[in-house]
Amino acid sequence: MQVFICYQKYHDPTYVSTKKSNMKLGLGLYKSTLTKDNFAFAKQAGATHIVAQLVDYISGSNPTLTKNYLNGWGETRNQKKPWTLDSLISLQKTVSDSGLILEALENLDPSHWYDVLLDGPKKQEQLEALKQLIQNMGKAGIPILGYYFSLAGVWGWSSERLGRGAPKSVVFDASKIDIHTPIPKGMVWNMTYQDNPDNDFLAPVNREEMWQRLKYFLDTLLPIAEENGVRLVAHPDDPPLPEMRGTARLFYSPEAYENLFDVNDSNASGFEFCLGTLQEMPDSDVYGLLDKYSQNNRIGYIHFRNVIGKVPYYREAFVDEGDLDMVRIMKILKKNDYQGVIIPDHTPEMSTTAGWHSGMAYALGYMKGVIQTLNQA
């Protein structure tokens, strides 16, 4: 009987552990939405944790991702304006006072690390500031820093009304854009950090050079992360293309994503595991990858979102509408006793006056319902 149960646990996709799930339900909030009202919304929808983005690239009280951001996410002019220990402690306290836990900071401000990405003259100065940020996070009790090591960043999206009930959804269609459009100087990660009066463009960057830059970044910061109880977790490329805008991408396939641990295998390094982005990759086995890395504690937190299609064309879908079987995803996490946070990340916007909030509430309700159902199995 014991042998049969072990076989079921690791080889039967329908197997459901009888142990109660320890995964945590969270909500990701952007800088302008880190408000008491939205903390209350998160708690009302069943979330217990917050993943905070301090980069002001999606602004407004009712944020939207369903725009054409081909000209950039906006501007950031925060050079010499680091995220201080006092500001992190203040945010931690505000979240805590709302009955929630601040689990992670997601994404670095491009104006804080552009020369780390570009291998520019201020690289060392910016790395020292990032070391201080990690130390401050440790002191403030924020255990995870999510980052996306890319020059082009997230680019090429458009918006259409597609899917069940025709909500506003993010679409990527490579046939409608020129993926080789060069990046203007003064822009990185699809945000402008300084003026470009001469209208020059960044020179092409090959994959070997990008891997070298990532290795230097990790070799410099991971020892500091280890010392301060902080994990650095990497987001895969979205859109997952080998090259975009004249620059190589690092995490455009499952195999490339796994190379993260060949670059530096520190226990402080991990995945910001975005289910939707991984599903967008050709020939990806999201279930197998999730099973492997949720067993060995390499996942910092999970973007729990669904898509239909793969590059060169895909669209985001409601959590229960896309190509991924999200119940199967939850079963894998429960089987492996994943104890981290799962957040909706983003989702189609519903036809209400608060489309973002409605979409998030729907996703959170679905996620909480699946967790409760599996716990009663």
Fold of 2-372: TIM Barrel (3.20.20)
Q: What is the pTM of this model?
A: 0.93
Whole-angstrom Cα distance, residue 63 to residue 148?
A: 21
Q: What's the Cα-to-Cα distance from 364 to each of 1, 10, 45, 371, rounded to whole Å?
A: 37, 28, 6, 11
Whole-angstrom Cα distance, residue 345 to residue 347?
A: 7
The reported pLDDT for the residue numbered 66 is 63
pLDDT of 2 strictly over 60: no
Q: Tell me the pLDDT band of 59, cut-offs 50, 70 and 90.
A: low
Domain extent listing, the chain: 2-372
Q: Tell me the pLDDT band of 70, cut-offs 50, 70 and 90.
A: confident
Q: What is the pLDDT of residues 85-117, one digit of tens each?
A: 999 999 999 999 999 999 999 999 999 999 999
Q: How far is CA 18 from the centre of its chain?
A: 30
Q: What is the pLDDT of residues 176-221, one digit of tens each?
A: 999 999 999 999 999 999 999 999 999 999 999 999 999 999 999 9
Q: Tell me the pLDDT band of 149, cut-offs 50, 70 and 90.
A: very high
